[in-house]
Amino acid sequence: MASPAVSVVCVGMAGSGKTTFMQRINSYLHSKKTVPYVMNLDPAVHSVPFDSNIDIRDSINYKEVMKQYNLGPNGGILTSLNLFATKVDQIISLLEKRTAPNPDNPSAKPIEHILVDTPGQIEVFVWSASGSILLETLASSFPTVIAYVIDTPRASSTSTFMSNMLYACSILYKTKLPMILVFNKTDVKDADFAKEWMTDFDKFQQALRQEEESGAFGTEGGVGGFGAGSGYMGSLLNSMSLMLEEFYRHLSVVAVSSMTGDGVDEFFDAVETKRQEFERDYKPELERKKQEREENKSSQRELELGKLMKDMSVSGSGRRERKGPETGPETVSEAEDEEEDEIIKRGLADGEDFSDEDYDYAGPSAGDEQGLSERYKQALSGSQSAPSDADNSFTRLKLEHILTTLKQNHYHHLAKLKTAKVRDTLTDAKWIKVFQTYTYSTAAWLSLQSVPLMVGPSMIVAMLLDETRPASSIEIYFARCLGFSLLTIAVLTVMLTGSIPLTSSISEPVTTADSDPKAPYALPTLVVTSLFHAISAFYAYTWYVTRGQGVFAVAVGGGSILAFIGLWCVLFASSGGKISRRTGADKRTTGFPFANSEAAKKHTGKKIL
Ligand SMILES: Nc1nc2c(ncn2[C@@H]2O[C@H](COP(=O)(O)OP(=O)(O)OP(=O)(O)O)[C@@H](O)[C@H]2O)c(=O)[nH]1
């Protein structure tokens, strides 16, 4: 569908001012009464200072992704983007709809700009599969321009400037989309020097010489000090600047201040120039690619789909227990921060635009391996069917690309998950067995004691009395009450620990995790009953020592064994336990004030955050 809208994708190094720049151009467009469509693709951003129509954070909880897949911050962003990318078709349909003239209201101005903010970790977006998918899909439907935001004050030395240019060059090469270099923060440092360096080779040489003379490249006595030694950096920069001349010619350069708003007019002029360039130079290339893919589509798709499903062959592996050891944290600090597992926090059907009926999100939770596999399958099958006019979209033709790239991105995560799953299933079964042995033994032991108290209270009282007389009615009453109480505790123990499920709909085994909805009181019950056994055993011991009656020795034995098993479950088999169920790391060594991260590292082999 032909659309006049142009999409502007802001990329840049962390802290270069992308978000502030987005805010500035957004408010500029509002002031010009051409309201843009805004997308935030940074799942890790805490808050964005502008209203976004589509926000990745509405659908993906980045922290939960990190926790669930056991990833670091960059892996978390990457996986969040991958999950988001599976729904790229819907996003594009939505954008196409919003940017097309409204037949019901022909006088309404269609959206002319789509603004996209990207993660601060530039490489995660530009070099990831999902980044490519999102960018290429966007470019297949709309003229797309990359705005590479540069922190001007930080690019004022020849080496930082050159690093930035090389980065920009690599992004241009990777995305193959028209690019505008946005020298931001010009209220702090004017960008004239950069423009000069890009257009006049001699000026750059001059600056280079000056820096060399001042020793900024690590020459003796230099202040820079980080260079590889005298002369090397200078000559490297020299030759690179020559090589980059061709690259500079393909760029538009604007100097802006997101703070003051200077240069925003020029930026939109550059956007218009690049839009025309896109239509003229880039679109035919995309069309050619599209044609090629169309030809190879069906055979390639079958092949890739088969491969992907093979790699993700978790479908037959049964249901993954969401709670329990496998969701346990990998590092100690993760364990201590544990929250409710929930990847899809609010669901995609949220917010102004995602509540749109077009956006029919009903995918399974991304919180588990099978969920992930299912989501990919769904995304793919959705793309396979639906031959509509939107099928002309490059999106659909990107299917095989989505398959391969997502597969590559997730290959090692899936492998990791599979290993963890097998290991955890084994260990979990062991724990559950001990735990259930404990609860049933407790119930049996208490019931055993309750029976004579209820059935023959007078006999029990007579046994306990030193004198020979019939039991009084009050003694009989208390003995029976004690019997009933013990029986009640026995029943409560098996119920509250979930050993006997209260509803027939529960088919998963109960776990001792605090957050297990099937047995929220399992751990407290375990603790209380273990204490009860310990106290009873101790009390029986004192009686045995003072009275020497053998029956107390039996009570000491039974109580002690149960107290010991209960304590073992509390320590080792519960999520509140001190031993990590996943790694075996002893967390007692890592807590405040005697933090000993080395002990935990030894077990986890991982970084303690
Ligand atoms: N003086 C000045 N400061 C700016 C300008 N643009 C951004 N900043 C500041 O630069 C810092 C980083 O800005 P952000 O917009 O958060 O940068 P970002 O690239 O989105 O950061 P990440 O999301 O972490 O990658 C903030 O403190 C901004 O106030 C500008 O034009 N002038």
Residue 166 phi, psi (nearest 5): -65, -40
Give the Å distance between the CA of 198 and the centre of ligand 1. 24
The percent of residues in the chain predicted with pLDDT above 90, rounded, is 10
pLDDT of residue 344: 32
Ligand 1: residue of 24, 121, 258 to mutate (most ligand atoms within 8 A of CB) is: 258
The DSSP secondary-structure symbol of 472 reads P
Ligand 1: residue of 9, 11, 13, 19 to mutate (most ligand atoms within 8 A of CB) is: 19
Give the Å distance between the CA of 184 and the centre of ligand 1. 9
For residue 14, the ligand 1 atom closest to its alpha carbon is: 25
The percent of residues in the chain predicted with pLDDT above 70, rounded, is 64
Q: Is the pLDDT of residue 351 over 50?
A: no
Residue 575 phi, psi (nearest 5): -70, -20
Question: DSSP string spanning 302-350?
Answer: HHHHHHHHHHTTTGGG-PPPSSSGGGS-SSHHHHHT-----SSSS-SS-
Q: Which of 48-62, 327-341, 368-382, 541-555 has the lowest mean pLDDT?
A: 327-341
Per-residue pLDDT of 302-314, as tens digits, reads 665 565 455 444 3
Give the Å distance between the CA of 19 and the centre of ligand 1. 7
Q: Does residue 254 contact residue 242 with C-beta atoms inside 8 Å?
A: no
- Residue 36 amino acid letter: P
Mean pLDDT of the chain: 70
Tell me the average pLDDT across 190-210.
83
- By alpha-carbon position, which residue is closest to atom 30 of ligand 1? 185
- 536 versus 547: the higher-pLDDT residue is 536
pLDDT of residue 480: 87
Q: How many CB atoms lie within 10 A of CB 35?
A: 14
- pLDDT band per the 50, 70, 90 thresholds, residue 174: confident
Give the Å distance between the CA of 108 and the centre of ligand 1. 34
Give the Å distance between the CA of 82 and the centre of ligand 1. 26
pLDDT of residue 269: 92
Task: Give dist(CA 569, CA 400) in Å, integer.
Answer: 49
- By alpha-carbon position, which residue is closest to atom 6 of ligand 1? 17
For residue 258, the ligand 1 atom closest to its alpha carbon is: 31
For residue 42, the ligand 1 atom closest to its alpha carbon is: 23
Give the Å distance between the CA of 259 and the centre of ligand 1. 9
- 243 versus 186: the higher-pLDDT residue is 186
Per-residue pLDDT of 94-148, as tens digits, reads 888 888 877 777 777 788 899 999 888 888 888 877 788 888 888 888 899 999 9
Give the Å distance between the CA of 21 and the centre of ligand 1. 8
Q: Is the ipTM of this complex over 0.90?
A: yes
Strand-pair category, 37-40 with 54-55 = parallel
Q: Please give all residues whose beta carbon lies within 6 A of any atom in ligand 1, as ranges.
A: 12, 14-20, 45, 120, 184-185, 187-188, 257-259
Q: Which of 61-70, 327-336, 581-590 has the lowest mean pLDDT?
A: 327-336
